[in-house]
Structure 1
């Protein structure tokens, strides 16, 4: 009795036709007009009033200028105009990087929005 046994009920193949499913899917979306490549869907646009984030732009420009000035101090220290024993040029370069990058990022978004470049809005600037 140790062999494999065959089941008594036979399974039948299920009828599957791929054309019916594809046609039903096409019919479901037939009444929607196709979107153009760069067209925006107004259902997903914010209805809030657009405001210019003046405070955030001022902060971005300040961070950009502070980071640039820290780089200048690090360069002056590197070339010997500021005595290196009083100031750490590596510290100024590292802090300058940490301050410069977010300032540059937000200032670039504000500038491109002001110029009217497609895809840039003040909504992309982080704010409270």
Structure 2
């Protein structure tokens, strides 16, 4: 038989406070999250993608605008496309890593895929 519970009313829900005699074998520590594991390899890869993508986008933009004379003008668009393909995921994961490091709500190192 269950021990008698006292009813606490809070808003639209009713909460039951268990008496000390009832022990279900759980402790509060097992429901706490362990400290986050920082995926250093993935953050390094994201930083490299972000850096190389930025460089390629700048070079492609300078080639497209004519500030850099291009002997082979047909290579301008591939440089821009490859730069964008590297910049977008790199910037996204670097941003997540930065916000997780700063401790913003909703951002965690768990959102960055690991490469183990």
TM-score of the pair, normalised by structure 2: 0.66
Report the number of matched residues.
90
Aligned-CA RMSD value: 2.4
Gaps of 5+ in 1: 1-28, 34-41
Indicate the structure whose relative CO is greater, using CA pairs within 8 Å and at least 6 residues apart: 2
Deviation at residue 79 of structure 1 after TM alignment: 2.6
Gaps of 5+ in 2: 1-12, 18-29
In structure 2, what is the equivalent of residue 98 of structure 1? 85
3-state SS of 1:88 partner: helix
Q: Map 1:22-33; keep pairs closer than 5 Å.
A: 30-31=14-15
Determine the C-alpha separation between the residues in 1 that align with 2:14 and 2:64. 67
Asked if structure 2 preserves the Cα contact closer than 8 Å seen for 1:78 and 1:84, the reply is no
Instruction: Show structure 1 runs of 4+ deviating over 2 A.
Output: 29-33
Higher strand fraction (1 or 2): 2
3-state SS of 1:51 partner: coil
Determine the C-alpha separation between the residues in 2 that align with 1:114 and 1:87. 42
TM-score of the pair, normalised by structure 1: 0.60
Which one of 96, 103, 107 corresponds to residue 120 of structure 1? 107
